[in-house]
Structure 1
Amino acid sequence: MSGLDGARIVVTGGAGFIGSHTVDALLGTHPAHVLVLDSLVNGSEENLSQWEGDSRLSLVVGDIRDRGLVDSVMAGADVVFHLACLGVRHSLHSPVANHEVNATGSLMVALAARDAGVSRLVHVSSSEVFGTARTVPMDENHPTWPETVYGAGKLAGEAYSRAMFRTFGTPVVVVRPFNTYGPRSHAEGDSGEIIPRTIVRMANGERPVLYGDGNQTRDFMHVSDTAAGLLALAECDEAIGRTVTIGTGVETTMREVCRLIADALGRPDLTPRMLPGRPGDVLRLCADGTTMARLTGFTPTVTLADGIADLVDWFAGRATEDMLIEDLNWERDEVAP
């Protein structure tokens, strides 16, 4: 019997990218009731459409900064997955709002989880708390020197959750996923990420864009693996009170990402267009998943090449031209390049 079976589970940000895949993993493998709390700023009801009509899923549209609302949503909850946040690029043009959601909002969630007496709070942070790698691979003890208000706010948020564990004994596990990609990832606006944005550009005959020298590295993990990792930690008693890094341990340059996408689309002629480096861009990331593997036995299963091919197929037939126009307009008007 799984610790998630029959549980009442709250997923903040559950209509977003990683959040909706976490919901899929929960409802696809466990007899549980899932309540999603999402502002729908970055998420959408469409991301949960496959569960339409399923009585096990409820959606509450609201803001995690609203303590009264969060308390009411948490009442009677057994397990909480906290994923609601605003992103890296958003923090450059709206640092105060970004901080309020990622830091203050996380405090509201942690306090509500404490008061509700949940059996597990899985606080989903980010590899951005580390900043650029000093050494690789990066384990949980790597120094935290965030480059952006986003990274700083995520670091503050995870610290609030750890405080609930240390002071009140709230059963918390903090998770630091590295770069996640896959279906439903954002291709446009200030939430857009390199892999989906590049797929959309190249699918419409546009050259991909790289910043700086294009040799920045990331550790990319498919969203199905990220969601599986979150569930594994929710069911691991030994993880309580710990901060755990999850990733593939494979370091890939932005140039190589563009090459893999060009191969998947059959467009080797669309070579990257180079632009000056952007403020806040981390130069190097690569995870050490040793602790995760030891605690849960979890290892990622999807290779980057296979994951990109899967995402190319997912975007096929969607309105990628509209996504491209929106992204180009945003890029032109972006306050911080």
Structure 2
Amino acid sequence: MSEGFYRGKRVVVTGASGFIGSHLVEALVREGARVRALVRYTSGSRRGHLDRLPEDVLAQVEVVPGNVEDAGAVRSLVRGADVVFHLAALIGIPYSYVAPQQYVATNVQGTLNVLEAAREHGARVVHTSTSETYGTARYTPIDEAHPLTGQSPYSATKIGADKLAESYHLSFGLEVATIRPFNTYGPRQSSRAIIPSVMQQLAAGSAALRIGSTAPVRDLNFVTDTVAGFLLVGSSARAVGQTLNVGSGRAISIGDLVRLIFEVTGKRAELVTDDARVRPDASEVMVLLADFRRAAELVGYAPRVPLEEGLARTYAYVERHLTDYRPREYAI
């Protein structure tokens, strides 16, 4: 249990302005942590999803603009930290076909910078992996012993980052735990992902629902459950040196997911396959289903939010913030 662990702790979150990162920052503040949040620098001083946090929460966060690719900035960021949650990454799989070199720079070099800074300053690191590192399942449910396969430049860079994290624990004794979330969804997720992509089109009243392949099967985990996994992994000495899956343990095809969204929202649309949204055949990961028994045994992780409830909560958010989306465009 993480209860009480974070109170007064100095905690750094990279990728804090993103979907999961912003929810993690909010949870850490409520746990009593002293949070330093890294957001990518922009000339407009934008803080991404951190600006969605309640004012009383955001007032307790030290927001630091910067970039994980800048080693000096990362050393300064990590100085004095007890725990570093490393979430900063380029995550869009389709865009990794377009800009693989940038994915190496951010996901691999950026992770190396975080590990070096934590080694210098003696901080514990929770490194964020992804279920995409497993590739298409050779068996299900997928446990942490499953082989890793780089079926996209994105997943290949995440495998490289995971192995760097592992090496820093084995080579230097750095306290590193790797959390491997399966497909997280919920409020604030970008339209790059399937659930907000479908929901924004329905909320906008689109008669034709443009999607990619309906065959892939995914394990969908509501964001509060994923964040609970982060808190548990970061607070547990038993997690150090481990890689831990965090998921729901429930698999659903994209086609069945769309039909479930229809049921939850009470809306319908004609399904239209958009070739631009379909991955190359050999790059598509067909089945992801989490075996999270190791996380349950070592840190007490358990998912709480049923898919139907999570979808309803997510759609309510999309409806309230529809002007933030561009339903007629495909976000890669």
For the residue of structure 2 that corresponds to 1:10, the secondary structure is strand
Matched residue, 2:108: 103
Q: Which moved more, 1:50-59 or 1:62-71?
A: 50-59
Match runs of 1:54-65 below 5 Å: 55-65=59-69
RMSD: 1.8
Distance 1:113 1:255, change over 3 A: same
Residues 97-148 of structure 1, C-alpha deviation per residue, up to 9 Å, x if partnerless? 0111011111111111111101x20001101111111110000000101211
* 1:158 paired residue among 135, 140, 162: 162
Residues 186-210 of structure 1, C-alpha deviation per residue, up to 9 Å, x if partnerless? 01xxxx0000000001112223333
Paired residues of 1:210 and 1:275 also in contact (CA < 8 A): yes
Pairwise CA distance, 1:159: 1.0
Amino acid at match of 1:308: L
Pairwise CA distance, 1:25: 1.0
Say if 2:272 is the partner of 1:273.
Answer: yes
Paired residues of 1:32 and 1:56 also in contact (CA < 8 A): no
Structure 2 residues not aligned, in runs of 5+: none
Distance 1:84 1:146, change over 3 A: same
Cα distance in 1 between the residues matched to 2:72 and 2:223 = 31
Match runs of 1:31-42 below 5 Å: 31-39=32-40
Residues 149-170 of structure 1, C-alpha deviation per residue, up to 9 Å, x if partnerless? 1101111111111111111111
Matched residue, 2:95: 90
Cα distance in 2 between the residues matched to 1:318 and 1:93 = 29
Percent of aligned pairs with the same amino acid: 35
For the residue of structure 1 that corresponds to 2:285, the secondary structure is coil
Matched residue, 1:282: 285
Matched residue, 1:79: 83
Structure 2-normalised TM-score?
0.92
Say if 2:308 is the partner of 1:317.
Answer: no
Paired residues of 1:51 and 1:57 also in contact (CA < 8 A): no
For the residue of structure 2 that corresponds to 1:35, the secondary structure is strand
Matched residue, 1:176: 180
Cα distance in 1 between the residues matched to 2:185 and 2:322 = 19
Matched residue, 1:143: 147
Cα distance in 2 between the residues matched to 1:46 and 1:289 = 31
Pairwise CA distance, 1:56: 2.9
Amino acid at match of 2:317: W
Structure 1 residues not aligned, in runs of 5+: none
Paired residues of 1:200 and 1:320 also in contact (CA < 8 A): no
The total of aligned residue pairs comes to 320
* 1:121 paired residue among 101, 121, 125: 125
Paired residues of 2:200 and 2:325 also in contact (CA < 8 A): no
Matched residue, 2:199: 199
Cα distance in 1 between the residues matched to 2:86 and 2:182 = 16
Matched residue, 1:216: 216
Paired residues of 2:18 and 2:48 also in contact (CA < 8 A): no
Cα distance in 2 between the residues matched to 1:319 and 1:245 = 32
* 2:295 paired residue among 292, 296, 312: 292
Amino acid at match of 1:302: V
Distance 1:108 1:285, change over 3 A: same
